[in-house]
Amino acid sequence: MDDVIIVGAGIGGLTLGLALHACGIPCRIFESTAEIKAVGVGINLLPHAAKELAALGLEPALAKVAIATTDATFFNRFGQLIYQEPLGLAAGYEHPQFSIHRGDLQMVLLEAFLARAGRDRLVTHSHCIAVEQDESGVSVVFSDGLSATARRTVRGRVAIACDGINSALRKQFFPGEGDPRYSGVNMWRGVTRWKPILSGASMVRAGWLSHGKMVIYPIRPQGADGLQLINWVAEIETPAYRKRDWNRPGAIADFIGAFADWHFDWLDVPAFIRAADQVLEFPMVDQEPLPRWSFGRVTLLGDAAHPMVPRGSNGAGQAILDARALVAALLEHDDPVAALAAYEKQRLEATTRIVLTNRSNPPDAILREVFQRTNDRPFGRIDDVISREELVAMSEGYKRIAGYSKEVLRTR
């Protein structure tokens, strides 16, 4: 009865489980799938998220399977360098910026949770249907996802919805919310085994959305064959898209034309795309920020609370920060309702700013600015187009809003 019930064993749910266990707060995680598998493609853990996972003792495990990213490098679609800046440890942060396969991150979290909390603390085949509550606790209704009639009810102290972009509990509290907001940009995501690009630990952004934009970064160390697993995202403005589904296969023929002439001295982009092990298609969508997350003894966390367009490498990181804030609130307040309200107060406004900034001025706004100033033409000298001071200001402005500027991290 004293358990915190966590709905969903994704990045946010597993991080929350580990943080609760570390503080002696009992919890159980309920996952809808029968088996948790390493799915997805690449994501980034910015230094603020890496700091929280390091506090849980996970940095050595992450370092074994991830790339400690050293630099962000921006190019136009003609392969000309616009801007480069150091990242993570190379930029003077106390913790790395990790580029990592989402499945590898989830497995690091899962293995740690099972080893520390016990295998009985994770319950699979548990598809969340609804939640009810009273003055003494919550009752969460689950099905096994197979039978239309089989139901079971689990009692707990509070319930935390970590069930992602299609959260059942978010839908319960906001039944009239409507469809996701489409940004006008469709994405194709893939992974390719390729020789190291640039520094071998670079995050590359190139082009612009109206003519095709690429984000490219390695997510696993070199193998014995000298190749890295490199994540890439192709983004193109288009009016057409299909419903969001992280695991929908994509077709290279649908987007390769935008990158057909991207033959640079540092990468043959069409050949790189065609060599992909896997391609997934996903629309760049988010939801309008919610007015509240917490309803008595129930609250939302991560993508269930604040789905954002993936343009700032920040979705998983914000879920991790949510988990830290929620655990701190539960430790500070004896009354669970007050704790969830305090968590919401700390995190809702901060994540709302990020959701809105990702729509308009994420880090790749540097590419937009140069695209507009050059009218999509090659330049002679980048200093004649935009000053380094302007570029630095754009980059640092996002870091402050997203909560990972060095000044913010030093004071936290």
SS3 of residue 157 by DSSP: coil
- Residue written as token pair 């849980």: 56
- 268 domain-assigned: no
Which two structure tokens, joined as six digits, stand for 359?
């729509």
pLDDT tens for 147-161 read 667 789 999 999 999
At residue 406 the predicted structure's pLDDT band, cuts being 50, 70 and 90, is confident
- 352 domain-assigned: yes
The answer to whether the beta carbons of residues 25 and 179 sit under 8 Å apart is no
pLDDT tens for 43-87 read 999 999 999 999 999 999 999 999 999 999 999 999 999 999 999
pLDDT over threshold 60, residue 297: yes
Which two structure tokens, joined as six digits, stand for 159?
């319930």
Mean of all residue pLDDT scores within the chain: 93
Predicted confidence at residue 50, as pLDDT, reads: 96
Which of 38-42, 107-111, 118-122, 199-203 is the least confident region? 38-42
The answer to whether the beta carbons of residues 117 and 21 sit under 8 Å apart is yes
The answer to whether the beta carbons of residues 371 and 57 sit under 8 Å apart is no
> Which has more confidence, 410 or 84?
84
At residue 245 the predicted structure's pLDDT band, cuts being 50, 70 and 90, is low
- 296 domain-assigned: yes
The answer to whether the beta carbons of residues 103 and 40 sit under 8 Å apart is yes
Once rounded to an integer, what is the mean pLDDT over residues 311-340? 95
pLDDT over threshold 90, residue 407: no
At residue 113 the predicted structure's pLDDT band, cuts being 50, 70 and 90, is very high
Predicted confidence at residue 244, as pLDDT, reads: 62
- 318 domain-assigned: yes
* CATH code, domain with 327: 3.50.50.60
Predicted confidence at residue 31, as pLDDT, reads: 95
Give the whole-number percent of the chain exceeding pLDDT 70: 97
At residue 278 the predicted structure's pLDDT band, cuts being 50, 70 and 90, is confident
SS3 of residue 265 by DSSP: coil
Give the whole-number percent of the chain exceeding pLDDT 90: 80
Residues 290, 348, 391, 189, Cα dihedral to 10°? -60
Predicted confidence at residue 1, as pLDDT, reads: 52
- 355 domain-assigned: yes
How many structural domains comprise the chain?
A: 1
Bridge pairing between strands 122-123 and 27-30: parallel
- 14 domain-assigned: yes
Positive or negative, the CA dihedral 103, 104, 106, 112 is positive
Q: Distance of alpha carbon 268 from its chain centroid, rounded?
A: 28
State pTM to two decimals: 0.94
Sort 264 into a burial class: Cβ within 10 Å, 0-12 / 13-18 / 19+: middle
Contacts of residue 356, defined as CB under 8 A and 6 or more positions apart, other chains included, come to 289
Predicted confidence at residue 148, as pLDDT, reads: 61
- 222 domain-assigned: no
Which two structure tokens, joined as six digits, stand for 277?
């092990």
- 187 domain-assigned: no
Q: Which of 123, 154, 153 is nearest to 36 (CA)?
A: 123
Residue type, 332: E
Which two structure tokens, joined as six digits, stand for 227?
């190749």
Range of the domain at 322: 4-39+102-179+288-360
